[in-house]
Structure 1
Amino acid sequence: MASIARRPDGTYRPRFRDASGKEHARHFKRKVDAQRWLDEMTAAMVTGQYVDPAAGRVTFREYAERWRATQVHRPTTAAHVETMLRRHVYPGLGDKRLGSVLPSDVQSLVKQLSLDLAPATVGVVHRILAGIFKAAVRDRRIVASPCEGTKLPKVHRQRIEPMTLEAVEALTEAMPERYRALVTLAAGTGLRQGEMLGLTVDRIDFLRRQLTVDRQLITMPDRAPFLAPPKTQASVRVVPLPQVVVDALALHLGTWPADEFLFTTELGDPIRRTAFSERIWRPALKRAGLSGVTMHSLRHFYASLLIRHGESVKTVQARLGHASAAETLDTYSHLWPDSDDRTREAVDGALGSLRAEPSVARHATNRPSGRSADG
């Protein structure tokens, strides 16, 4: 039901009821403006685009926390999202009403974050923000997302420069003996850090010289380390073990026997990443004279070995557990041998017979005979 009534003071009061029966009204000085507003609201109701103005009065923080509680995230992802919102979004937008956040507010937040954070991190924060506002649109809390059209800082992807063999050897020597096999395992299989720290003895097949990756160790503050599925379904894989890795693991187990986790602390507990980085990894890098090297650098080293020895993109993808070949190429395409010479050879082989004659011969062929056209 919709109508327009003229009030005693000469203003016009259009009103209508939404799908829930709630009445909405406004006041206009001109009847034409009242009719236009009523037509817009009626059209929005008919097309299913109507949003109750009161629905967006909840604060962004309140809505975001409800949204966060309903997401099906891995524990690490859930913790990451909570940290990003608490540190980078709530200080600026948390107390604003959901429906009052403007595109300029989002752009201003991005600009401010860009002063202190890497472009990739700013992009992560914006994706979380956009996901929340997209959900708010679906919930009919707001008409449109203020994240649309945001200009983000450009992410400059750095080319991977793999470690040298000498650097890997120096790092291995600098590690405490208890963790030297961890470096060999990383360099010889390309496993992610969580996959290695979560590796249990029953996942290693010494007879077939292979190991199964189907779990990773998750370490979070204020919670005991626990096993969880790997990063993606593509990360579930069987990795062949080179003999050098088999020997290193066998020596490790001979020295530090284990029933469950292959690598543990001196007390036999699962290894926490932060403690390992502080007490083991960084001191070892210093002793080896290395800088800017992470556990992931050993994964890049492994990939570079496969590429150098002629493995295909699909093989490298499978060994590393990448979700797609595109991900592998985006990361390592510059490491594949340059194909310029093969391109030249292919074209020359196909079109060689059409090669132009030397200029001297061509001129001799085209030179006039000396006789006239009549003669």
Structure 2
Amino acid sequence: MSSIKKRPNGRWRARYRDGRGKEPMKTFDRKVDAQRWLDEQTAALVTGQYVDPRAGKETFKTYAEQWRTRQIHRERTEETFESILRLHLYPTLGDVPLDRIRKADVQKLVKAWTVKAKPSTVEGRFTVLSIVLKAAVGDRRIIESPTAGVKLPPLPAKSALVPITTETVVAVRDAMPGHFRALVTVGAGTGMRRSELLGLTVDRVDFLRKTVRVDRQLAKGSGDVPTWCEPKTVASDRLIPVADVVIEALSAHLAAYPAHKTGLIFQSAIGTPLRPSTLWTAWHRAAKAVGTDATPHDLRHYYASVQIRGGQSIKVLQALLGHKSATETLDTYGHLMGDEDDRSRAVVQSALGIPAGAARAEGAQ
């Protein structure tokens, strides 16, 4: 049921009944505009695309907080979403009604981020914004997301990844405080993620069989009490075969620095669970001292490059690194497999590279 009536002030009021029995209305200077709006709302009701005009009046922060509390996320993911929303989205968009956020507003925000943050960081913030606004579309708060078509700064090509050298690994390790040196060796020798290294306990290391089990990671530490959580993905749960150099480094480390009462192998200088910020501070000083801009994550890339140089297949490397798919591994490290080009040439050469005379002689036999 819908209607258009002329008001005493000469304006036209359009009204219709939605699926919940409510009667939204809007006034216009011209009857034709009122009819157009009424037709649009009626068509949306029929096609299932209807959005209550009043639903979009809810502010971005109000909706995002309601949405966030409904999600089932890993603890670290939940912390990341909360941090990005609080620090980078609410200050600019928090008080803006959902239906007032425009593509231009989002593009302007992305541009502002680009000035101070790396492209990957900008992409992470934009992803959170995009997820929330797409959820608002699904909840019929807005008709479409204003993030569609927004341009992001280009990410560096995967082929730009250049692994650090063994000399750099050794130099940084030797420049680290004594209680951190084994961590560098283990990181370079297993490819474990930082949080996996920080959460490694003695019972996850089989010194006899020379393996390390990764089935959890350090979530956060509060004082002397560590908290563990599941690995990053299901594929991250893995058993890593390790070389003697890793086992020897762990043995020497534990002899000099006994494990935490919870079994944690790596600790701070005062014997508490190791925080990422503490490790980063020590690493930064060591890296600066030896003249490299490498980060702890470069130990993981180093491990992958060593495995590739040794002839390891992408599928096996995927399992060792705990990647979700071989595609992820190939996209990240495929450019390091340079000998594949020579192998491809050799295969064709062996099949087609027979001299013409030899080929005729071979056929005559």
After TM superposition, the score normalised by the length of structure 2 is 0.88
2 CA distance for matches of 1:231 and 1:166? Answer: 30
2 CA distance for matches of 1:254 and 1:194? Answer: 23
- SS at 2:15's partner residue? strand
Cα distance change, pair 226–256 in 1 and its aligned pair in 2 (3 A): same
Q: For 1:174-202, what per-residue CA distance to the aligned partner results, in whole angstroms no more than 9, with x for missing partners?
A: 23332222122111111111111101111
Partner of 1:232: 233
Partner of 1:269: 272
- SS at 2:40's partner residue? helix
1:230 is displaced (CA, Å) by 1.1
Q: For 1:21-70, what per-residue CA distance to the aligned partner results, in whole angstroms no more than 9, with x for missing partners?
A: 11122344555544433332222112221111111111112212222222
1 CA distance for matches of 2:14 and 2:278? Answer: 66
Partner of 1:283: 285
Q: For 1:180-230, what per-residue CA distance to the aligned partner results, in whole angstroms no more than 9, with x for missing partners?
A: 221221111111111111011111111211110011112378995411111
1:11 is displaced (CA, Å) by 5.0
- SS at 1:15's partner residue? strand
Counterparts in 2 of 1:168-183, with a 5 A limit? Answer: 168-183=169-184
Cα distance change, pair 29–297 in 1 and its aligned pair in 2 (3 A): closer
Partner of 1:93: 93
2 CA distance for matches of 1:176 and 1:32? Answer: 77
2 CA distance for matches of 1:148 and 1:355? Answer: 60
1 CA distance for matches of 2:122 and 2:272? Answer: 36
2 CA distance for matches of 1:222 and 1:86? Answer: 25
Partner of 1:37: 37
5+ residue gaps, structure 1, are 357-375
1 CA distance for matches of 2:28 and 2:255? Answer: 86
- Structure with max Cα Rg: 1
1:9 is displaced (CA, Å) by 5.9
Partner of 1:65: 65
2 CA distance for matches of 1:275 and 1:27? Answer: 61
1:340 is displaced (CA, Å) by 3.1
Q: Kindly report the root-mean-square deviation, in angstroms, between the aligned alpha carbons of the 2 structures.
A: 2.5
- SS at 1:251's partner residue? helix
Partner of 1:105: 105
- SS at 2:116's partner residue? coil
Cα distance change, pair 126–232 in 1 and its aligned pair in 2 (3 A): same
**Does the Cα contact within 8 Å between 1:76 and 1:220 map onto a contact in 2?**
no
Counterparts in 2 of 1:136-215, with a 5 A limit? Answer: 136-157=136-157, 159-215=160-216
Partner of 2:81: 81
5+ residue gaps, structure 2, are 358-365
- SS at 2:87's partner residue? helix
**Does the Cα contact within 8 Å between 2:75 and 2:229 map onto a contact in 1?**
no
1 CA distance for matches of 2:353 and 2:165? Answer: 41
Cα distance change, pair 168–116 in 1 and its aligned pair in 2 (3 A): closer
Counterparts in 2 of 1:111-130, with a 5 A limit? Answer: 111-130=111-130
- SS at 1:26's partner residue? strand
2 CA distance for matches of 1:68 and 1:254? Answer: 46
After TM superposition, the score normalised by the length of structure 1 is 0.86
**Does the Cα contact within 8 Å between 1:167 and 1:290 map onto a contact in 2?**
no
Most deviating of 308-317 and 251-260: 251-260
The number of residue pairs the alignment matches comes to 354
**Does the Cα contact within 8 Å between 1:225 and 1:272 map onto a contact in 2?**
no
- Name the % identity: 50
**Does the Cα contact within 8 Å between 2:224 and 2:273 map onto a contact in 1?**
no
Cα distance change, pair 282–352 in 1 and its aligned pair in 2 (3 A): closer
